[in-house]
Each structure stands twice: as structure tokens, then as C-alpha cells.
């Protein structure tokens, strides 16, 4: 990343909410916040409330290996909410998350880093994270994943069409096939603002900078979500191809929101500006 790009990111972050986010976290630390109450405390401090059927928490197995998959419409907020949901039932969860977001020490034991830097080092980090995730499942833990690998994006360069995940990555199918564990799908309703989607077709760097703004826009808002019933591994008998299995997990998740991902053009690849090439 060039010096000009770094300066641009810092400028956009300051204008669009990064300082506000840091202030919320600093108050949490100053008030003696602990890792045990981090998820609920951060939701309270940001004014984010959740609209969902609380009886559906019973859908989350309290023990044993578990894979939780979700669409990813907002960004960091999705991860915060997903961690809070699972923490209501069990403490042994780990979330695969963008490595640039792993900063708060209270969250590190629950986060596994995924890097989108496009370097050989980033590839090595991601391979190690997937190994750690598989080990966690083998040890009876819960692994939380946003299988698209990035935030939902409108396929229209002007942000006019609804934002959707990109095709879910095959590694989630590989993880499931090895663990042979139940899956709980979680569907988040909504999407980021139109500017975010327009920028997503122009610059991955600016898109990253705008994430703080989008998080700030979620403050004092209500987010709707649905927790699906646990799906036994046997339900996927006959689906051996990993891409097909990933697509089926995506289909079942979006179906909670009444969206049929089998309709052609519903799930499309990332805009060209977001497609990372490995730097050798």
C-alpha cells in the first residue's frame, strides 16, 4: 500500500467514524470491562438491539462440534452479534475474521485471523487458520464462519440492486466434510449504505476505509436476524462436490430470509476491484 493510500485511509477513517469506535472501546476498558461481558457490553454501548426469536437460541447445541454459518451484510457488526448469540449458549467458540480487525485483547481467544492482503504470507496465515479451525472442531468446539469471505456487495456499480454475498468458498464444505458435524445457519437482514457499494466497484482500499463509517451507521439501530434449526451432516448425503455443498449451505441460510439463491444472477462474484491477486 502506498503512502498516499495510507493517508487517504486515515483521512476517511477520521471523517467516517473510526474515532467514535475507539472512544466506545476506550470507555469499555476505563469502566473495567472484562472479556466475559465484552459482547453484551459492546452491543449495549453502541445501542445495537436485536430483533429475533429468542426461543431459537435453543437451536444452538450447547456442546459438541458445531459449525455456524452466516451471510455477511454489514461487516464487524455481524461478527459482534454472532459471537454474542453463541456466547449465550456456549463459551467454546471461535470466529474466522479479517486479521485487521483483531485488536481488542478481550476477543483474541475467540478470533482466528483471515488475511486479504493477497501476499504469500497472507496465504500462509489463512492455511494455518483453517488448520486451527479444524482442530477446534475435532476437540468439540464451535466454529463461526462467514463463508463468502467478505461483506455482501451489490452487483450493480451504482448500488441499485440488493447486496448479496459472493459465492461461498469451498473451504467451508471441506471443513464440514471432515468434521461431519451439525450446522446452524444464521441469516442477517439488511445491507450497508449505497455509497459503500458504489465504492466497492472502484477501490478495495476505500471500501476498507468506509467500514468504520458503516459500523457507525449501525449504532442505535435494530438488526433483524433469524437462527435456523441445526442441520445434521446426514442432510448433505449425496452432495460430495465441495462447491455444490458450499452453495447448498448458502441456499439454506438465505432461505431463512425468503431469498432463493438458486435463481441465476442472485449470487455473483466480487466486483473486479475486490478480486485480490497473490503478490509473489
Nearest to 278 by CA among 149, 127, 118: 118
pLDDT value of position 12: 47
Over residues 139-154, the pLDDT tens digits come to 999 999 999 988 999 9
pLDDT value of position 278: 40
Helix axes 204-218, 18-30, angle to 10 degrees: 50
Pairing status of strand 111-114 against strand 222-227:
unpaired
State the Cα–Cα distance between residues 178 and 167, nearest whole angstrom: 21
The mean predicted confidence, pLDDT, of the chain is 88
**This model's pTM is above 0.85:** yes
Percent of the chain with pLDDT over 90: 63
pLDDT value of position 2: 58
Pairing status of strand 142-145 against strand 93-98:
parallel
Rg of the chain over Cα atoms, rounded to whole angstroms, equals 18
Pairing status of strand 66-70 against strand 142-145:
parallel
Per-residue pLDDT band for 16 (boundaries 50, 70, 90) equals very low
pLDDT value of position 183: 98
Over residues 42-69, the pLDDT tens digits come to 899 999 999 999 999 999 999 999 999 9
pLDDT value of position 103: 66
Mean pLDDT of 157-176: 95
pLDDT value of position 121: 82
CA end-to-end distance (rounded Å), the chain: 15
Q: Which residues contact 32 (CB under 8 A, 6 or more apart)?
A: none
| pLDDT surpasses 60 at 239 | yes
State the Cα–Cα distance between residues 123 and 106, nearest whole angstrom: 26
Per-residue pLDDT band for 279 (boundaries 50, 70, 90) equals very low
| pLDDT surpasses 80 at 185 | yes
Per-residue pLDDT band for 3 (boundaries 50, 70, 90) equals low
Low-confidence winner among 98-107, 135-144, 264-273 (lowest mean pLDDT): 98-107
Cα 174 vs. chain centroid, distance in angstroms? 18
Query: How many Cβ atoms from other residues are within 10 Å of residue 26's Cβ?
Result: 10
pLDDT value of position 280: 36
State the Cα–Cα distance between residues 216 and 21, nearest whole angstrom: 7
Fold of 50-192+223-271: Glycerol-3-phosphate (1)-acyltransferase (3.40.1130)
State the Cα–Cα distance between residues 157 and 76, nearest whole angstrom: 23
Highest mean pLDDT range out of 9-18, 48-57, 89-98? 48-57
Amino acid at each position: 500500500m502506498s503512502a498516499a493510500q495510507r493517508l487517504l485511509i486515515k483521512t476517511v477513517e477520521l471523517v467516517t467514524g473510526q474515532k467514535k469506535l475507539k472512544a466506545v472501546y476506550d470507555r469499555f476498558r476505563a469502566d473495567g470491562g472484562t472479556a466475559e461481558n465484552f459482547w453484551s457490553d459492546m452491543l449495549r454501548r453502541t445501542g445495537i438491539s436485536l430483533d429475533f426469536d429468542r426461543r431459537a437460541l435453543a437451536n444452538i447445541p450447547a456442546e459438541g462440534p458445531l459449525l455456524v454459518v452466516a451471510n455477511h451484510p454489514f461487516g464487524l457488526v455481524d461478527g459482534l452479534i454472532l459471537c454474542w448469540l453463541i456466547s449465550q449458549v456456549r463459551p467454546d467458540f471461535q470466529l474466522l475474521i479479517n486479521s485487521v480487525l483483531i485488536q481488542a485483547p478481550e476477543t483474541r481467544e475467540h478470533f482466528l485471523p483471515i488475511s486479504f492482503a493477497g501476499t504469500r504470507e497472507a496465504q500462509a496465515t489463512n492455511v494455518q487458520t483453517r488448520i486451527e479451525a479444524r482442530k477446534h472442531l475435532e476437540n468439540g468446539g464451535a466454529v463461526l464462519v462467514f463463508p463468502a469471505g467478505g461483506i455482501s456487495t451489490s452487483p450493480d456499480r451504482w448500488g441499485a440492486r440488493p447486496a448479496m454475498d459472493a459465492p461461498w468458498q469451498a473451504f467451508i464444505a471441506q471443513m464440514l466434510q471432515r468434521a461431519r458435524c451439525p450446522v446452524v445457519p444464521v441469516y442477517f437482514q439488511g445491507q450497508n449504505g449505497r455509497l459503500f457499494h458504489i465504492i466497492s466497484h472502484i477501490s478495495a482500499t476505500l471500501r476498507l476505509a468506509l467500514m468504520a463509517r458503516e459500523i457507525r451507521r449501525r449504532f442505535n439501530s435494530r438488526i433483524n436476524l433469524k437462527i435456523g434449526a441445526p442441520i445434521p451432516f446426514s442432510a448433505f448425503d449425496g452432495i460430495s462436490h465441495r462447491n455444490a455443498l458450499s452453495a447448498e449451505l448458502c441456499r439454506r441460510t438465505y432461505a431463512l430470509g425468503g431469498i432463493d439463491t438458486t435463481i441465476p444472477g442472485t449470487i455473483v462474484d466480487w466486483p473486479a476491484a475486490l478480486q485480490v491477486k497473490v503478490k509473489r
